[in-house]
Structure 1
Amino acid sequence: MQESSILSPMILNVSMLSKAYVGKTVLKDVSFHLEDKEKAAIVGINGSGKTTLLRCILGIEEADEGSIAFSKEKKMDYLAQQHADIETENEDYDTLSGGQKTRKRLEEILQEKPDLLILDEPTNHLDIGSIQWLEKVLKRYDGAVLLVSHDRYFLDRIVTKVIDLERGKVRMYQGNYSAYAEKKRQLREAEWKAFQNQQAEIKHQEAVIEKLKQFNREKSIKRAESREKMLLKVERLEKPEELENEMKLLFSPRESSGNDVLMAKELGKSYDGKRLFSHGTFSLQKGEHVALIGDNGTGKTTLLKILNGLVQADEGEFRLGSKVKIAYYDQEHAVLNMEKTLFDEIQDSYPDMNNTKVRNVLAAFLFTGDDVYKRIQDLSGGEQGRVSLAKLMLSDANFLILDEPTNHLDIQGKEVLEEAIRNYEGTVLYVSHDRYFINKTATRIIELFSNRFDNYIGNYDYYIEKKEDVRAYGDSLQKDKMPLEAIDPEEAQRLEEKESKRLDWESQKELSAKRRKWQNALQKAEEKIAKLEERKEELTASMEEVGSDVGRLMEIHREQEAIDKELEEQYAIWEESSLELENLE
């Protein structure tokens, strides 16, 4: 592999890069470029070669083929996932958290003002506040950025180019992550549609050829031969590769809970003299999907452990509603027995399952063959997470409590989990720093802020829009209130009832606005569908009148195709609106 200088504005050029390990191809003919001051992301499932590609660019590993060109007069720097190298150099780092190390190391790198900054999972271990700080830093940063990250919300706000690694090959997309995801979906659908259409046309031609041959007349045989020659000249499209390495995940409660799922009153907890939270009064209703957010150290995981009976609250109480069955996903996977094999972990937890069913479940979570006999302790964090999700799915619970469920999952795994939660009819309470995941799955957010619980009826974008107002209001209430011990019990109850009524009124106002929005969308979709269906019937009837006018028939056909396409869009809007209205009800 050779290295040479290139002219601005291109700061990095990777050309036809290939890399294999023990005969397994990791990168194949990878080519892309990065312009000066451009911010790009490398994305792909776990094991797709992202880290290998970064290591080749950094010169840590040698590619088998291809070239990497980087401007000689430019400077490159790198922020790795791990910080072990820093710890050995500076003892002050054995006292910092993972997030603090990331922030400190990045600040040191930025002081050097590199022209190209390479970041490998920079948001790992960071809380939401620190990630927002990082976003601001990178937006202001004047150099080029090349990063690997599973944080899709972060990618949406930072990058303008996505380099997609799939099966060792690369494809570039302009835009942020959401634009890339939509373009990739459209492209995959178009490839499948083109392949299926060609296959249908080939089968049709083959059937016509067979029919012509059966006529056994000179003219028909010649026509058959002519069609065969034309068919041989057709350039066959390759069948698009099936998506691999995708979990099969479905949450389905065995029985429904009552409408009141969880009622918490005046919960409080302190550790080592530090108050985490107090006056934790909130409730969850059947079907709600609630995200619990807050900075590191505010007590989110502690609250989940209290609700699971693993930790005692210092004050207050909570109770579960009728027929509520909890399943708990622990980010530290304490629910797993590290000494057991995957197979035994599932079978011992669900003894009614036979060997075939156990293997089928594990296969749905990407464990096949002898993998099922690996010990839990020998698995990676992501693999342990998949085992925990498998047990969660098998629980048939109607109330899921999840602590950082997207940790260690690649983007594809996160999307599978999102879909499973969106389709789940039970109640969910989860802690997550993944803002994209929260946006996709939460119908409500509770923020642990300033030792209190702030409530938002909406997803993460709604939280961002409203948080300053809600925090200001919460601060004013805290400022006006005397310490709880000094308040007369009757006065405290009166204040609580007043606040409860205000929140209830605001909730109803929000719900009414959302209901009007989706009702209007539903009505418009129904009206458009009716008109389109009516026009489609008119066109079908007119085809009989047109007769053999090929030009007019083609016009009608094109209009019918356009109508079918618009009908698909309107039915999708109708379905989404109906679902949203059902959820609101």
Structure 2
Amino acid sequence: MPSHLSLAPARAAHVRVSDVHLSFGGRPVLTGVDLVAAAGDKVAVVGENGRGKTTLLRVLAGDLPADRGEVHRAGSLGVADQQIPLDATETVGALIDLELSAVRGALARLESATDALADGRPGADDAYTAALAEVEALDAWDADRRVEVSLAALNAVSDRDRPLGTLSVGQRHRVRLACLLGAGHAVLVLDEPTNHLDAAGLEHLTERLRTYPGAVVLVSHDRALLTDVATTVIDLDPSSDGRPRVYGGGYAAYVDARAAERARWEALHAEQLAERQRLADDLSAAQNRLRDNWRPAKGHGRHTRATRAPGLVRAVHRREEDLAAHVVAIPSPPARFAMPELPAHPGATLLRANGVSVPGRLHRPVDLALDSGDRLVVTGPNGAGKSTLLAVLAGALEPGTGTVRRARHARIGLLGQESALPDGRTAAQLYAIAGAERLGELGLLARHDLHRPVGELSVGARRRLDLALVLAARPHVLLLDEPTNHLSATLVDELTAALAATPAAVVIATHDRQLLRDTRSWSRLAV
């Protein structure tokens, strides 16, 4: 697969992916993907978990060769994936220097070219012109200041001597994101950049991306970010012809167009199934007539049977041929999320917390009471203790002060931010261990993921499995910590609607702006 990379100013930034195909273990992951992004374009890549969004970004970044197709890039490239490239012994400063290596290198080359020019060396003029253009393209002189601004806005650690091992996962990701926003790359490739950001960080990221002069290609579950930023949407979800779809006009236009296309798909598939059933019924009726006419009414003889038989046989054969020729060319649309029926526990307060706090993690004492059907959203900046509160309510963490009382026989289900599933087990095995059946009926995991080891699943598929296992316990109280992380926008919409209707009590801790808007009628608790 040809891949080309050249340096150019942000205004000349360009990315083009043409007819890219990629398979893993014989299973197609990317099928005929086309993508174009020029300076100022913000291209959002969307789709259900496991559809190849992160894979496409890796192909775009040059980390993964495609089986077929071409990738062209112009301009320096900055990539934020879901893995930090340094180990825990390195420092914040080392991570900043790594992410600003293009800036550091450009400034070093300019300094060298300046010295050569001052010494009058041959070819120094051209080398100096090229080095200066590179520094100007990156706006390298101002890069460190831009990084400092983003570190502060994202509430990221700015102490360069701080070891990465002393930072949380979210803190490390915020440091790297701040570096990328300040590095001045012509092309930004971002995988779930809103994870671990609070309201202030989300606002800063949105503004920086909206005004970013280069090209941006991002994967995100954050519907508010996509609405505010995306100019083009590429949907990798299955379509009626099996190829990805490209939608212009922004995210809102994509949502409308996708809904209309899904309705057409379902209607055409239903029509083809109905026609196949009609042909099958005609064949069955013809076969019945043939059988019946070999048992004529009393008074009819063998001659009558012999006369009618050839025509009836021909009719059966004709209908068999019609049925065989009928192909259901429109594949079945993908399954939708099906929320299991969660139980109510009437006549009792399911969970009550009085004066709950945890030193160093949840500073302000919390009081709350939950009955069946209650809805609560926990808000607050990063580090305020939202996750800690949910862990205390679930019984996974003891409070430093206060008490938590749970109703007898009340089941509490907690979906944490980080997955702790064993890599060697399959999704189906874990679901069976949980005492539940029919995992596939939830519509959360693709069929090919059900019997794969957890260690081979994508981050999004693991998140879906975590959710499935929590729901399998049929909890009376559902505690969800950043439930939209790593989930597709379509699934989040379906999950949000299901949570509003369940008889169980539901508590959500989230920074997701669209989810906050969708749950604006719920009670709020600020920590």
Report the counterpart of residue 359 of structure 2 in structure 1: 271
Report the counterpart of residue 185 of structure 1 in structure 2: 259
Report the counterpart of residue 430 of structure 1 in structure 2: 508
Matched, 1:328 2:413: yes
Contact in 1 for aligned 2:265/2:333 (Cα 8 Å): no
Report the counterpart of residue 462 of structure 1 in structure 2: none
Deviation at 1:341, TM superposition (A): 7.1
Q: Cα–Cα, structure 1 residues 298 and 121, in superposed 2: closer, same or farther, change >3 Å?
A: same
Uncovered stretches (5+) of structure 2, i.e. residues with no partner: 96-160, 287-314
Matches within 5 A, 1:452-463: none
SS in 2 for 1:169: coil
What does the per-residue CA deviation read over 1:129-161, in whole Å, with 9 as the maximum and x for residues that have no partner?
A: 322221122123222211111222222222121
Deviation at 1:182, TM superposition (A): 3.1
Report the counterpart of residue 80 of structure 1 in structure 2: 81
What does the per-residue CA deviation read over 1:63-92, in whole Å, with 9 as the maximum and x for residues that have no partner?
A: 232222334xx3332222222238654564
SS in 2 for 1:417: helix
Q: Which of residues 390, 414, 437 is equivalent to 1:304?
A: 390
What does the per-residue CA deviation read over 1:547-570, in whole Å, with 9 as the maximum and x for residues that have no partner?
A: xxxxxxxxxxxxxxxxxxxxxxxx
Q: Cα–Cα, structure 1 residues 399 and 140, in superposed 2: closer, same or farther, change >3 Å?
A: same
Q: Cα–Cα, structure 1 residues 262 and 140, in superposed 2: closer, same or farther, change >3 Å?
A: same
Deviation at 1:119, TM superposition (A): 0.9
Q: Cα–Cα, structure 1 residues 268 and 417, in superposed 2: closer, same or farther, change >3 Å?
A: same
Matched, 1:123 2:230: no
Q: Cα–Cα, structure 1 residues 270 and 49, in superposed 2: closer, same or farther, change >3 Å?
A: closer
SS in 1 for 2:86: helix
What TM-score comes out, normalization by structure 2 length? 0.65
What does the per-residue CA deviation read over 1:501-539, in whole Å, with 9 as the maximum and x for residues that have no partner?
A: xxxxxxxxxxxxxxxxxxxxxxxxxxxxxxxxxxxxxxx
Query: Using the alignment, how far apart are the partners of 1:150 and 1:240 within structure 2?
Result: 26
How many aligned residue pairs are there? Answer: 422
Amino acid at match of 2:526: L
Query: Using the alignment, how far apart are the partners of 2:205 and 2:346 within structure 1?
Result: 42
Matched, 1:249 2:339: yes
Query: Using the alignment, how far apart are the partners of 1:196 and 1:378 within structure 2?
Result: 35
Deviation at 1:315, TM superposition (A): 4.0
Contact in 1 for aligned 2:49/2:458 (Cα 8 Å): no
Deviation at 1:32, TM superposition (A): 2.6
Q: Cα–Cα, structure 1 residues 69 and 269, in superposed 2: closer, same or farther, change >3 Å?
A: same
Amino acid at match of 2:341: F
Contact in 2 for aligned 1:327/1:392 (Cα 8 Å): no
Contact in 1 for aligned 2:13/2:187 (Cα 8 Å): no
Deviation at 1:313, TM superposition (A): 3.6
Deviation at 1:277, TM superposition (A): 1.0
Report the counterpart of residue 446 of structure 1 in structure 2: 524
Matched, 1:149 2:220: yes
Deviation at 1:392, TM superposition (A): 3.1
Deviation at 1:187, TM superposition (A): 0.4
SS in 2 for 1:46: coil
Report the counterpart of residue 133 of structure 2 in structure 1: none
Amino acid at match of 2:228: R
SS in 2 for 1:85: coil
Amino acid at match of 1:295: P
Query: Using the alignment, how far apart are the partners of 1:305 and 1:398 within structure 2?
Result: 16
Report the counterpart of residue 302 of structure 2 in structure 1: none
Matched, 1:404 2:489: no
Q: Cα–Cα, structure 1 residues 182 and 339, in superposed 2: closer, same or farther, change >3 Å?
A: same
Q: Cα–Cα, structure 1 residues 282 and 148, in superposed 2: closer, same or farther, change >3 Å?
A: same
What TM-score comes out, normalization by structure 1 length? 0.60
Report the counterpart of residue 106 of structure 2 in structure 1: none
Q: Which of residues 374, 377, 395 is equivalent to 1:291?
A: 377
Q: Cα–Cα, structure 1 residues 342 and 34, in superposed 2: closer, same or farther, change >3 Å?
A: closer
Deviation at 1:189, TM superposition (A): 0.8
Contact in 1 for aligned 2:417/2:482 (Cα 8 Å): no
Q: Cα–Cα, structure 1 residues 372 and 172, in superposed 2: closer, same or farther, change >3 Å?
A: closer
Matched, 1:258 2:259: no
Report the counterpart of residue 65 of structure 1 in structure 2: 68
Report the counterpart of residue 171 of structure 2 in structure 1: 100
Report the counterpart of residue 548 of structure 1 in structure 2: none
Contact in 2 for aligned 1:81/1:120 (Cα 8 Å): yes
Q: Which of residues 377, 389, 395 is equivalent to 2:473?
A: 395
Report the counterpart of residue 28 of structure 2 in structure 1: 25
Query: Using the alignment, how far apart are the partners of 1:5 and 1:308 within structure 2?
Result: 51
Q: Which of residues 498, 507, 513 is equivalent to 1:420?
A: 498
What does the per-residue CA deviation read over 1:267-287, in whole Å, with 9 as the maximum and x for residues that have no partner?
A: 142425x76113x33444542
The answer to which structure, 1 or 2, has the higher relative contact order (CA under 8 A, 6+ apart) is 2
Deviation at 1:206, TM superposition (A): 11
SS in 2 for 1:123: coil
Query: Using the alignment, how far apart are the partners of 2:328 and 2:32 within structure 1?
Result: 21
Query: Using the alignment, how far apart are the partners of 1:61 and 1:336 within structure 2?
Result: 27
Uncovered stretches (5+) of structure 1, i.e. residues with no partner: 212-223, 351-357, 450-585
Amino acid at match of 1:302: T
Query: Using the alignment, how far apart are the partners of 2:449 and 2:206 within structure 1?
Result: 43
Identity of aligned residues (%): 29
Report the counterpart of residue 48 of structure 1 in structure 2: 51
Query: Using the alignment, how far apart are the partners of 1:340 and 1:197 within structure 2?
Result: 41
Contact in 2 for aligned 1:301/1:403 (Cα 8 Å): yes
Deviation at 1:186, TM superposition (A): 1.2
Q: Cα–Cα, structure 1 residues 129 and 26, in superposed 2: closer, same or farther, change >3 Å?
A: same
Deviation at 1:259, TM superposition (A): 7.0
Deviation at 1:18, TM superposition (A): 2.0
Contact in 2 for aligned 1:276/1:297 (Cα 8 Å): no
Deviation at 1:3, TM superposition (A): 5.0
Deviation at 1:41, TM superposition (A): 0.7
Query: Using the alignment, how far apart are the partners of 1:333 and 1:183 within structure 2?
Result: 34
- Tell me which protein shows more helix as a share of its residues: 1
Query: Using the alignment, how far apart are the partners of 2:349 and 2:268 within structure 1?
Result: 50
Of 156-165 and 432-441, deviating more is 432-441
Q: Cα–Cα, structure 1 residues 362 and 30, in superposed 2: closer, same or farther, change >3 Å?
A: closer
